[in-house]
Structure 1
Amino acid sequence: MASLLSGATKTAHSLATSLLSAAEVKVGSTLPVKVPVKEEAADKTFTFEGIKGKNVFVGVPGAFTGTCSQQVPEYIKAYEKFKEKGVDNIYVVMVNDVFVAKAWKEQLGADSPVHFIADDQGAFTGALGMLFDASGFLGAPRSKRYVLVTEGDTVDYVTVEPEPGQITTTRAEKVLPWV
């Protein structure tokens, strides 16, 4: 019975991931600005509706994971370089709850102006087409490792790591020339 339930759970995770994901975002796409996310509290959502200026969205598979905890500090350290190039905000987006997102920000740089965004249901990430089935490693669908550069709500640049456990094209130093 346990193996039957385990198999059904794996199938449900894979199905949920495919159902939640739209076609992968590309240059010229519009951000899913009406999809709610969280930053401050579990009962306080906001959307990116009306977003202005140049922004960088860094999608990561999971807070506190080794690779993500190597990647995100690069963006915190390079924040001023991004600002010099006209970036208004950097958003680190994860399919984690807001408590985890806040704790991770506290650990990595509590006073950093980088925003840690909790997409706890994966709806924003799914609307971008950036969900993948990470149930074997992280227990549930998670975000692909990606970076978007936007002007307002329009995507100007996209890079997605072919292997979510690696940081190559999504390194801060690799993205800076594209902003």
Structure 2
Amino acid sequence: MAPEASLAKVKAQIAPGATIPTVSVKELDPGASTQLTLTGKNIIIGVPGAFTTPCNAHIPGYVDLYDQFKAKGVSEIYVVAVNDAFVTKAWKEKLAPNGTGVRFIADDQGELIAELGFLFDAAGLLGGPRSKRFAIITDGDKVVSVAVEDAPPSVTVTAAEEILKQV
């Protein structure tokens, strides 16, 4: 499904108590689809675009605090962008050249982001539909909490330090 088609099918924003939808995404291999592994506590962070200035400032907090999230029982931290897997892999390598357990996920068709209710029209700046900036805490596939920024460039309620306090 093309992102433009996904934009037409955006659902209401996911809320606590809801189940994270099962949708195929890509991680390291652009040719292989996978699904998020949601067992235990998880953090899912949505960003408008890899390599954008606000996103480059947002995600290093999760990389830097990864061990603290793990110490609080977080199984996985996912960063999801409506970009292709080549881009998300290169972005991960740029932000964490020494490696990280934070997983960078390509939702190249915008299907997961649309199902979560966070797809928006960013054609004017980023060329097409993108993700709102959000952070979801899950227990398995059940949503525990949702934080969404009022404006895509803002990093306040979704900052790593703020989400770490909630875990």
Superposition TM-score, scaled by structure 2 size: 0.94
State yes or no: 1:174 paired with 2:162.
yes
* Structure 1 segment 34-49 matched on structure 2, within 5 A: 35-48=23-36
* Structure 1 segment 6-155 matched on structure 2, within 5 A: 16=5, 18-33=7-22, 35-48=23-36, 51-110=38-97, 111-155=99-143
Q: Mark the runs of 5 or more structure 2 residues left unpaired by the alignment.
A: none
Tell me how far 1:51 sits from its aligned partner.
2.4
- Asked if 1 retains the 8 angstrom alpha-carbon contact of 2:6 and 2:110, the reply is no
Provide the C-alpha distance between the structure 2 equivalents of 1:119 and 1:81, rounded to a whole number of angstroms.
27
Deviations 1:35-79 (A, max 9, x none): 10000211100113x621100001000000000000000000000
Aligned residues: 165
CA spacing shift, 1:18–1:103, aligned 2, 3 Å: closer
Provide the C-alpha distance between the structure 1 equivalents of 2:24 and 2:7, rounded to a whole number of angstroms.
20
Structure 1: which 4+ aligned runs deviate by more than 3 Å? 13-18
Residue 129 of structure 1 aligns to which amino acid in structure 2?
G
Partner of 1:163: 151
CA spacing shift, 1:14–1:45, aligned 2, 3 Å: closer
Q: Mark the runs of 5 or more structure 1 residues left unpaired by the alignment.
A: 1-12
CA spacing shift, 1:17–1:38, aligned 2, 3 Å: closer
- Asked if 1 retains the 8 angstrom alpha-carbon contact of 2:43 and 2:77, the reply is yes
- Quick check: which one's helix share is greater? 1
Provide the C-alpha distance between the structure 1 equivalents of 2:120 and 2:145, rounded to a whole number of angstroms.
20
Residue 71 of structure 1 aligns to which amino acid in structure 2?
H
Superposition TM-score, scaled by structure 1 size: 0.88
- Asked if 1 retains the 8 angstrom alpha-carbon contact of 2:50 and 2:81, the reply is yes
| Percentage of pairs with the same residue | 48
Bigger CA radius of gyration: 1
- For the aligned residues, what is the CA RMSD? 1.6
CA spacing shift, 1:105–1:178, aligned 2, 3 Å: same
